Structure 1
């Protein structure tokens, strides 16, 4: 019996990505015997892939019901309530599931008997790098943030020497040196800006400087009356608490601030207070990539672009969807890698003892398997009891 993979059309507002693109589907069909890929009509339009492209790749273009009637369903955005109801016992769902932000969806999927593999839970180990959708999307987000900042800033990014005089380069400060932050640094640098990077983790200095940016170090003065371990912990604690004030002079000097400090499932740390915004030059730009979790800036409004103290503050929630062609291509490759990792003699039968599937598995056999997500649900269940 053929293994079937369903690719529904994404219905979230602003979501233009698709979980599988024709080229990647073509390669999958060529390597897996007895496989059928069902793509919902119009699923790829947002990423500029037509239904004819999918048919040419060997996929079946179907209606919404048939796309969800598959052994394995692949999505980008977490499923809506309606989509959860379309899934049932024995089916597998692969996609971004926002388990820490939407634990109730995990519970609903478990109750439906769906086995779910959350792409954001893929472990950060070397053999799982090809499945790392989160890093791929973060890289796109960092790139797009720098481009948006350059578009909004009423100044040039690069140094320019003209007959009318010399224009100094823009000063860009990137807060957070994770995947998104490093890509924002690299992109701003390519655009000719003078770039500075900050991260509370001192070891990131080397990565920031390797991209040609200057590392911002915050000095914290505390009493050195502890042993080495206690002193280090106290420095870390005080630095975290005083970050907004310590960053203020660096923020005031910046034309553009791109903030990326985000911990999944927790409110974003406050790095930019209102006084710091007021100290920036009029026309300056803040792109807050932590907006989905409240933002690193005190004035950020999730999903909105506002002006505060004559500073433009952007709170985007899904920048990868603004680059749907490459975002879909990279995402499709990571999803396909997940599928191929779990294939066994033509069927999708992942080994849940394997670290990749053990950690990526969100629900299975009617239960929420991720311990942290279960912890978020238990207080609610106790209240009901």
Structure 2
């Protein structure tokens, strides 16, 4: 007998509207699986174009193409998105206002980021059940759902290519007829998945690479890549939380961390900011004073910007120049590598949703660590711990 896990449900796949976002939340493979499980799937016309997936490919596996986003948002039980709802300039309407009470939303919400607080309040007020993919715990059972890790791999890789493209000098040591050109120096702040990928990519390009992280285990991973590590000496119990993720440091220790990395930041040609605390605002580790002392032409790529950023001067979604240093706050780096990132993301979100559903019904079991960590709004309430802390609700 076929497993009709999604029986009677309608999934909605809208076209992403963030500038430069080319990913889509489902590909033909995952849509085929949803439909095989008894679901109906509505896909907005052109949703897959940025990832080179044509509407015909969706139709071929049984999806229904909708001309307007309102058809998707208005008729779906569960909306699957890549990025948080935003204002649709063409429709002159916010995507959240296209949704209705009792609907479920699964996406990257980044609910602790100040820019998203009003959105989170709106979702709660409208009675929408929302879950965020950036708070999935790092446990073995959740590995196949961990979209943050998948997208971090892409962001770490691409961030170094951005930096190399912007930098005003060569990255590798280069011999020329007029002398030897020294290699660029790169500092990777945060040696999680994104940071390790950034360190490996910078090393492949020939940079002298430094990495720092408050977690001893993360530094060991960085050492295995052959990069130079900067140890902070912060006590382990203050640095590492559940699942091996970094914890928020008390202010006194945050000041010490900044003091330890300051010299390397100032002397670096490339700084990649990838330090994150799951579900919370990213720590500020690169201050304005440090930027002032950096070499003219240096580059900071702040890939933690979705959660506020690691640099005091980063502007979300913009590339700015301050004190002759380029600071890149691009917010959708994985969306610029759409073929690979969509392939991973579609599988992550399918696996996550599969954990929520049984016999066509949502099973919101708050005893399940995956669900309790990722739930943001339910029954008019804001439940996400990081969002509540950042919004001053506790």
Instruction: Indicate whether the TM-score tops 0.5.
Output: yes
Tell me, yes or no, if structure 1 residue 97 matches structure 2 residue 106. Answer: no
SS across alignment from 2:218: helix
Tell me, yes or no, if structure 1 residue 47 matches structure 2 residue 59. Answer: no
Partner of 1:368: 382
Tell me, yes or no, if structure 1 residue 9 matches structure 2 residue 15. Answer: yes
The alignment's TM-score, normalised by the length of structure 1, stands at 0.84
SS across alignment from 1:325: helix
Partner of 1:85: 97
Alpha carbons of structure 1 residues 212 and 236: separation in structure 2 relative to 1, 3 Å: farther
SS across alignment from 2:58: helix
CA contact (8 A) 1:76 1:95 kept: yes
Partner of 2:165: 151
The superposition leaves residues 61-97 of structure 1 with CA deviations (integer Å, 9 ceiling, x where unpaired) of 1132331211221111212373223322332221112
Deviation (angstroms), 1:341: 2.0
The 1-side partners of 2:175 and 2:52 are apart by: 40
The within-5 A match list for 1:311-330 is 311-330=325-344
Partner of 2:32: 26
The 1-side partners of 2:211 and 2:197 are apart by: 11
The 1-side partners of 2:391 and 2:182 are apart by: 53
Alpha carbons of structure 1 residues 242 and 8: separation in structure 2 relative to 1, 3 Å: same
Alpha carbons of structure 1 residues 35 and 136: separation in structure 2 relative to 1, 3 Å: same
Tell me, yes or no, if structure 1 residue 107 matches structure 2 residue 113. Answer: no
Alpha carbons of structure 1 residues 314 and 358: separation in structure 2 relative to 1, 3 Å: closer
Partner of 2:262: 248
Partner of 1:225: none
Deviation (angstroms), 1:239: 4.9
Structure 2 gaps, min length 5: 1-6, 88-93, 239-248
CA contact (8 A) 1:350 1:357 kept: no
115-124 or 204-213, larger mean C-alpha shift? 115-124
- Which residue, out of 36, 40, 43, partners 2:40? 36
Structure 1 gaps, min length 5: 221-228, 381-385
Aligned residues: 366
Partner of 1:66: 71
SS across alignment from 1:206: helix
The 1-side partners of 2:354 and 2:331 are apart by: 30
The 1-side partners of 2:307 and 2:368 are apart by: 31
The superposition leaves residues 231-289 of structure 1 with CA deviations (integer Å, 9 ceiling, x where unpaired) of xxxx9875531343433322233221112223456554333334433433332222122
The 2-side partners of 1:249 and 1:375 are apart by: 32
Alpha carbons of structure 1 residues 373 and 249: separation in structure 2 relative to 1, 3 Å: closer
CA contact (8 A) 2:213 2:232 kept: no
The 2-side partners of 1:252 and 1:368 are apart by: 41
CA RMSD of aligned residues (A): 3.0
SS across alignment from 1:75: strand
Partner of 1:260: 274
CA contact (8 A) 2:134 2:279 kept: no
Alpha carbons of structure 1 residues 369 and 41: separation in structure 2 relative to 1, 3 Å: same
The superposition leaves residues 198-220 of structure 1 with CA deviations (integer Å, 9 ceiling, x where unpaired) of 12333322111011111023589
The 2-side partners of 1:219 and 1:339 are apart by: 40
Alpha carbons of structure 1 residues 201 and 355: separation in structure 2 relative to 1, 3 Å: closer
Tell me, yes or no, if structure 1 residue 350 matches structure 2 residue 363. Answer: yes
The within-5 A match list for 1:172-183 is 172-183=186-197
CA contact (8 A) 1:259 1:290 kept: yes
Partner of 2:90: none
Alpha carbons of structure 1 residues 308 and 117: separation in structure 2 relative to 1, 3 Å: closer
The 1-side partners of 2:391 and 2:329 are apart by: 29
CA contact (8 A) 1:200 1:240 kept: no
Partner of 2:245: none
The 1-side partners of 2:57 and 2:362 are apart by: 29
CA contact (8 A) 1:270 1:296 kept: yes
SS across alignment from 1:306: strand
Tell me, yes or no, if structure 1 residue 170 matches structure 2 residue 177. Answer: no
The 2-side partners of 1:319 and 1:215 are apart by: 25
